[in-house]
Amino acid sequence: MTEPLSDHDENPLLAAGGLPRFAAIMPEHVEPAVQSLLRTQREALDELREVEEPTTDWLKAFEKIHESVRRVWSPVSHLNSVVSSPELRDAYNLCLPQITEFGTELEQDAVLHRRFVALDERIGAGEGTEAQVVRHTLRNFRLSGVALPDAEKAQFRKLVKAHAERKAAFEQNLLDATDAFSHHETDAAKLAGIPSVVLDGARKAAREKGLDGWLLALNGPTYMAVVTHADSEELRALYYRAWATRASDQGPEPERWDNAPIIDEILKLRHEAATLLGFNDYAEWSLATKMAGSPDEVIAFLRDLAARSRERARDELKTLNDYAGRELAPWDVSYYGEKLKQERFRLSEEELRAYFPLPRVLDGLFALAERLFGIRLKVQEVEAPWHESVRYYAISRADGTPVGGLYTDLFARPNKHSGAWMDTCVNRARLNGDTQLPVAHLVCNFSSPVDDAPSLITHSEVVTLFHEFGHSLHHLLTEVEYPSLSGINGVAWDAVELPSQFLENYAWLPEVLREISRHHETGEPLPGEKIATLNESRTFLSGLAMVRQLEFALFDFELHHAAEAPLGGEVRALLQRVRDEVAVIQPPDYNRFENTFAHIFAGGYAAGYYSYKWAEVLAADAFAAFEEAGAFDGATADRFRRSILAVGGSRDAMDAFVDFRGREPRLEPLLRQTGISTAD
């Protein structure tokens, strides 16, 4: 075991304030930093326990302990996601249980709990931020088992620690299994239809390995390009199988990477922890921090949407089958969907890609943020980013007042987790004289620039970028100064997608599309007729997209809403029952989607994947307010900023929505937006 650092040793993870020195952080820094950090924070907790009449200054000192832990651990977690290595992974996995256990110990501390009860009585039932911090903290105490007998507290801590370890193992298996696959091809005819931007990257990858031809990886952009555009059904089927069998008994090296046993362990741990706290199942425990009131409400919501959507999805699949002249396999659906879309609308994603060079899209996106919310983003050199492609933007108001900062890491590469996400780098906080402004990470996996050509992204990737920037705005425009409630922190999980899904709507507006598009060769913006056609195509195959997401959401929720944790074959059987109820496309027997479902087995969406659809209802209704007043109406934008973005978790999510909209949310705007219903 590495010895803890002494005070005179230098460790970039323990540097006070400022931005993390990412490039200086080495795997050998992690364990000493975590040990030093936890020792210091335990000493600070000892001092807080001695205070019998806590005040708001005491509350801020308690918040500062949490924030100090996060300031050290957040860079480690982030680096493990974007520049993973065996050494960093080992250091992360070694220290994650220590961080998890510290948090659980803190929230099981009976003395600290009594201090918060006393503070709650002193503050009263007010609506101020301090009152909300206290309420949230008391809830966290309850959900961490503070009232349990000592033996059961210890058991709960053991379960939480093991759960964190298993989640990390699930994600690492998925990353390793994804990176392990590649397809080497020397026959150009077999790659017909695949976009040149993907083939250029594959040719470069082959050269770097000393190979002729093309070396295709299994990252998200490549997989989507193959199944959507490759004329070779054989290649589409190969890629579909590779993607659908990652980290499973059907993929390569199952003895190393099969996630099925880990799924069983995770489900058992969750169920035991929830029942130990007195909940019937993990779904009930999960809903304690969400807007939805009960499991029955969630299931009814999902089934209602499925009932409204499935007939349209069936019709869409029949249309594709008729177009292809045969019953389509799962790896054919995206391909023929794109072909029909091109024929019907005379528009293709690859044609549009030429109009969306990433630098121009970013400029237009930042101009939109300035127009709506009065902020400016300017690229700034900072010390030690974690990769040469990373950029940092300083954010300020029009008068120059600093707001915060944004890191962007936008390109796919080996040892980087797939997908797109926003994460917090620094929280907004003002605690007993110490002030820090928020900083966000915006991470995507777009195709990298090749030679002197810019990265060209599809319109669907434009929508993804807007989505993650919406999360970033939620984090950056907060006005809450307690970090546990600032930005996205403390926001009900089924409401946290509201700002991100709201901002997606602007990626379809003609005025915005003209601003963010420039043909990378001619410099011309996207022509008006293509903009009109793109918007006509927005609801194309929306029924199929809807039921696919509902399949995931219902599977997740029913998986966690069970009298006993489903294990082994029961997990697959449950998924099949959900597919029989909701889906219109049945995958082949070898499909192991559950083994790749990182959102619920490695991320924070367990018994919460429904949140995407729940928040989509909120977002569509919120955007309807802009449709009524004008998409760029200043008063509406300022009300959205004040009611939704600024308040973080300091206000109940429903109260915040009602404050903005003047009423509770309605389902109809989403049904209209997706084309499932045209009723006003």
Assess whether pLDDT exceeds 80 at residue 259: yes
Q: How far is CA 63 from the centre of its chain?
A: 25
Assess whether pLDDT exceeds 50 at residue 8: no
Shortest CA distance to 613 belongs to which of 533, 527, 547?
547
Same domain, 435 and 370: yes
DSSP 576-626: HHHHHHH-SSPPPTT--GGGG-HHHHTSS-TTTTTHHHHHHHHHHHHHHHH
Q: How far is CA 161 from the centre of its chain?
A: 22
Active site residue 468: yes
What mean pLDDT is predicted for residues 78-86? 95
Same domain, 136 and 209: no
* 496 within some domain: yes
* 258 within some domain: no
Same domain, 87 and 41: yes
Residue by residue, what is the 3-state secondary structure of 526-566? CCHHHHHHHHHHHHCCHHHHHHHHHHHHHHHHHHHCCCCCC
- Of 541, 569, 589, the position where a domain reaches its end is 541
What mean pLDDT is predicted for residues 553-570? 95
- List, for residues 274-313, the tens digit of each pLDDT value: 999 999 999 999 999 999 999 999 999 999 999 999 999 9
* 625 within some domain: no
What mean pLDDT is predicted for residues 620-649? 98
CA distances 181 to 192, 200, 215, 412, 449, Å, are 21, 19, 10, 15, 22
Q: At what angle do helices 220-229 and 330-345 cross, to 10 degrees?
A: 70
What mean pLDDT is predicted for residues 211-233? 95
Assess whether pLDDT exceeds 80 at residue 232: yes
Query: What is the distance between the terminal CA atoms of the chain, rounded to a whole angstrom?
Result: 65
Catalytic residue among 165, 185, 461, 468: 468
Percent of the chain with pLDDT over 70: 98
Same domain, 63 and 197: no
**Domains of the chain: total:** 3
- CA separation for the pair 607, 295 (Å, rounded): 9
Strand partners of residue 439 = 405, 426
Same domain, 33 and 126: yes
Do residues 44 and 67 touch, judged by C-beta distance below 8 A?
Answer: no
- CA separation for the pair 402, 534 (Å, rounded): 37
Give the domain CATH number at 522: 1.10.1370.40
pTM for the whole thing? 0.89
Cβ-based burial of 357 (10 A; exposed 0-12, middle 13-18, buried ≥19): buried
What mean pLDDT is predicted for residues 626-648? 98
Do residues 401 and 436 touch, judged by C-beta distance below 8 A?
Answer: no
Do residues 583 and 309 touch, judged by C-beta distance below 8 A?
Answer: no
For Cα atoms 160, 163, 166, give the angle at the middle one, nearest 5 degrees. Answer: 155
Average pLDDT over the chain, rounded to whole?
A: 94
For Cα atoms 558, 560, 563, give the angle at the middle one, nearest 5 degrees. Answer: 90
The DSSP call for residue 440 is E
Return phi, psi of residue 329, to 5°.
Answer: -80, 160
- List, for residues 440-470, the tens digit of each pLDDT value: 999 999 999 988 889 999 999 999 999 999 9
Do residues 680 and 513 touch, judged by C-beta distance below 8 A?
Answer: no
What mean pLDDT is predicted for residues 495-500? 96
Same domain, 383 and 517: yes
Which range (264-278, 357-371, 412-426) has the least confidence?
412-426
The DSSP call for residue 663 is S
Do residues 474 and 619 touch, judged by C-beta distance below 8 A?
Answer: no
What mean pLDDT is predicted for residues 165-174? 95
For Cα atoms 525, 531, 535, give the angle at the middle one, nearest 5 degrees. Answer: 150
* 158 within some domain: no
The pairing of strands 439-446 and 402-411 is parallel
* 381 within some domain: yes
Same domain, 224 and 119: no
Same domain, 139 and 210: no
Say whether 165 sits in a helix, a strand or coil: helix
Residue positions counted in the chain: 680
- Which secondary structure element, helix H or strand E, spans residue 508, and what is its range? none
Return phi, psi of residue 377, to 5°.
Answer: -115, 130
Q: Phi-psi bin for 374: left (phi > 0), alpha (psi -120 to 50), beta?
A: left
Give the domain CATH number at 66: 1.20.1050.40
Same domain, 126 and 60: yes
* 40 within some domain: yes
Assess whether pLDDT exceeds 60 at residue 680: no
- CA separation for the pair 146, 138 (Å, rounded): 9
Do residues 438 and 424 touch, judged by C-beta distance below 8 A?
Answer: yes
- List, for residues 373-404, the tens digit of each pLDDT value: 999 999 999 988 999 999 999 999 999 999 99
What's the pLDDT score for residue 197? 86
Domain span at residue 32?
A: 12-107+109-143
- Of 496, 513, 541, the position where a domain reaches its end is 541
What's the pLDDT score for residue 126? 65
Same domain, 384 and 526: yes
DSSP 384-422: --SSTT-EEEEEEETTS-EEEEEEEEEE--TTS-SS-EE
* 485 within some domain: yes
Same domain, 517 and 395: yes
Which residues are CB-contacts of 258 (< 8 A; sequence separation ≥ 6)?
Answer: 173, 247, 248, 249, 251, 595
- Of 479, 508, 541, the position where a domain reaches its end is 541
CA distances 338 to 85, 345, 571, Å, are 37, 10, 33
* 314 within some domain: no
Same domain, 477 and 530: yes
Q: At what angle do helices 542-560 and 295-324 cross, to 10 degrees?
A: 140
- List, for residues 11-59, the tens digit of each pLDDT value: 999 998 889 999 999 999 999 999 999 999 999 999 999 999 999 999 9
Q: pLDDT-based confidence at 1, cuts 50/70/90?
A: very low
What's the pLDDT score for residue 678? 55
- CA separation for the pair 152, 277 (Å, rounded): 9
